[in-house]
Structure 1
Amino acid sequence: MIKYLPDTAKKIIDIGCGNGAFAIALKEKTGAEIWGIEYMDDEAQIANERLDKVFSGKCEDYLDELPDKYFDVIYFNGVLEHLVDPYMVLDKVKHKLTPGGVVISSIPNVRYYNTFLKVLFKKDWKYEGHGVMDKTHLRFFTGKSIKRMYEELGFEVKEHEGINGSKSIRPYLYNIPLFFAHMDIRYPQYATVATYKN
């Protein structure tokens, strides 16, 4: 996800920052001021020693405390699908962006072939310990619905692409009768970069 980071970013917040490892990589690349919000308190305490400012708890509890038009980048790496209302969260954080600032997110793709086949052929919707069907996910998205969510909230999507594509030949084989029109099933996640013109 670092590849989507603008070179000019000076103030970044990593929502769902964990122990701050990803944010440290951002800081090393840019020298930016970096904030974090982390739900797990033990992880937040570690991040607090590494980052410029860290909030411990649910991100929804701190959104109103964040300064308006302050952040050049707001990251959500594997976070929005865990929220009760990701639409509300995005609607609030868009006002925290500087002019030209971006939200960068990675969100699982429920159309990933391995997940989709279990639903289609095994008639099963089975939660797992990690991945697309992580049992802690509250929301499920496709590439199309992710893009629509951003656009309906007034964002302009700058980049939107499947990431971490499967190396299996199966998505290609499944696409032969579909004339390769459904290659989004190769990707377990989508990366999105969006800006808000306020």
Structure 2
Amino acid sequence: MARCGACGLVFQVPPPGWEDLPGYYPPEYANYSVPTSLVARLLLKGTDYLEARQVIKLLGRTGRILDVGCGSGYYFDVLSAYGDWTLAGTEISRESAAVAIAKGYPVFIGQLEDLDLPAEQYDLVRMNHLLEHVINPVTTLEKVHRLLRPGGYLLLETPNVSCPDFHLFRRYWGALHLPRHIHLFNPRNLRRLLDSSGFDLGRLQFTLMTTGWALSIQNWLKSWRDIKLVNGRMKSYPLLLLGFLPFLVVQKALGVSTMMRVWARKR
């Protein structure tokens, strides 16, 4: 990884090619699965509710939503409990897309940038932990801008390299996630990117990455001892989640948490 001296963007050198990306996301990829521990499931339910409430504030309970990188359709299941939105997604993993399609959700398989989708079709495009995975964020956001209706919303969440845990853990940082994370942002360069891509920033807030410290510690421990993992997590992982919750709350209050959530509006 390298860092831009001007804006602070952290990025892979050299970046992967488009043809490499599908191989980074096998069917067993952890982010395609739902947490199994009670603690993780409860934390996920809380974040699901907060995000659904954000969508309701922006759109009400109807409208057309595109989830870029929708996986197996978990987010569609969440939204369906809160409103009557028309939902669609994109996904590069055929296996995960097949699960969402089997649930009845329309999913376009392939890279967003390569898909021939009609312009100005969506009221909201969601990119949850997606922007850091793309080879060219500018191209991706330009495509999103084209797909949104005038005044439509972009809702995204992405890691924040200005947080203290990135500087503490470095190559063991839980949100580094190589080789899948290609670009990592800070608040300043993310604002600039959105502005140059035709979006007016509505709000940038710092959110809790409930797995942040726990995953960083797991990565550090794995570097010097053999640890058995189940679904990508060690046995004591739920205890780490609970133990570091106070750190997460303090980080959020200080505006230096591991994750940034943004909503922006198409100009």
* Deviation of the 1:48 alpha carbon: 1.1
Structure 1 position 9, deviation (Å):
4.0
Structure-2 residue corresponding to 1:138: 182
Letter in 2 for 1:146: L
Correspondence 1:4 to 2:54: yes
Pair 1:116–1:88, CA change in 2 (3 A): same
Root mean square deviation, CA, Å: 2.2
Post-superposition CA distance 1:38-80 (Å, at most 9, x none): 1221111001123442012222221xx2221110110000001
Q: Is the 8 A contact 1:143 1:162 kept in 2?
A: no
Paired residue for 1:191? Answer: 261
Deviates more, 1:2-11 or 1:146-155: 2-11
Please state if 1:117 is matched with 2:168: yes
Over the matched positions of the two proteins, sequence identity in percent amounts to 24
TM-score w.r.t. structure 2 length? 0.61
Q: Which letter does structure 2 place at the counterpart of 1:194?
A: A
Amino acid at match of 1:147: R
Stretches of structure 1 lacking an aligned partner (at least 5 in a row): 119-124, 173-179
**Which shifted more, 101-110 or 45-54?**
45-54
Choose the corresponding residue for 2:171, options 122, 126, 135.
126
**Aligned residues of 1:107 and 1:190 also touching (Cα < 8 A):** yes
Q: Note if contact 2:61-2:82 (Cα within 8 Å) is conserved in structure 1.
A: no
C-alpha contact (below 8 Å) 2:208/2:248 kept by paired residues: no
Find the partner of 1:164 among 208, 223, 226: 208
Pairs within 5 Å for 1:75-90? 75-90=126-141
Q: Name the CA distance, whole Å, in 1 between partners of 2:104 and 2:64.
A: 12
Pairwise CA distance, 1:17: 0.5
Deviation at 1:105, TM superposition (A): 0.2
Q: What's the offset of the Cα at 1:170?
A: 11
* Structure 2 CA distance for aligned equivalents of residues 159 and 51 of structure 1: 33
Q: One-letter code of the match for 1:168?
A: F
Q: Shift of residue 169 of structure 1?
A: 8.4
Query: In the alignment, residue 68 of structure 2 is paired with which amino acid?
Result: I
Which has a greater percent of helix? 2
Stretches of structure 2 lacking an aligned partner (at least 5 in a row): 1-50, 210-244
Count of aligned pairs between the two proteins: 177
Match in the other structure for 2:74: 21
TM-score of the pair, normalised by structure 1: 0.81
**How far apart, CA to CA, are the structure 2 residues paired with 1:77 and 1:11?**
17
Residue 15 of structure 2: aligned partner: none
| Structure 2: distance between partners of 1:24 and 1:12 | 13
Task: Identify, as 1 or 2, the structure richer in strand.
Answer: 1
SS in 2 for 1:137: coil
- Alignment CA distance shift 1:14-1:46 (3 Å): same
How far off its partner does 1:171 sit? 6.5
CA contact (8 A) 1:76 1:104 kept: yes
1:103-160 Cα distance to aligned partner (Å, 9 max, x none): 1000100122111123xxxxxx4156xx321111000101222111101212101111
Q: Which runs of 4+ in 1 moved over 3 A?
A: 169-172
